[in-house]
Amino acid sequence: MEIQGTLRRWGNSFGIVVPVEIVRENRLREGEEITIKVERNKGIKEMFGSLKLKKSAQQIKDELRKEWSKW
């Protein structure tokens, strides 16, 4: 099973929130020991390679903002 979470600071430690659906599905209980595999998410360029676009990133962002403002 694989889930994604956000690392958050709790006092002097860090923790990850496990979604309730995963807890229920796996019948997890407070205090149980679990194993978490840690992998850092890759950057967009590594995941998709270098894209060759006809428009600049700024032009794409401007178009998206125009669409979002309609909502």
Question: Per residue in 42-52, pLDDT tens?
Answer: 776 666 666 67
**Tokens describing residue 12:** 């002097």
Give the whole-number percent of the chain exceeding pLDDT 90.
Answer: 23
Instruction: Reduce the DSSP state of residue 63 to 3 states and report it.
Output: helix
Give the whole-number percent of the chain exceeding pLDDT 70.
Answer: 87
Q: Is the pLDDT of residue 57 over 90?
A: no
Other Cβ atoms closer than 10 A to 28: 13
DSSP state, residue 34: -
Cα 61 to Cα 66: distance, rounded to the nearest angstrom: 9
- Asked whether the beta carbons of 53 and 60 are under 8 A apart, the reply is yes
Long-range contacts of 17-23 (CB under 8 A, 24+ apart): none
Question: Per residue in 20-46, pLDDT tens?
Answer: 888 999 999 999 998 888 877 777 666
- Supply the pTM of this predicted model: 0.46
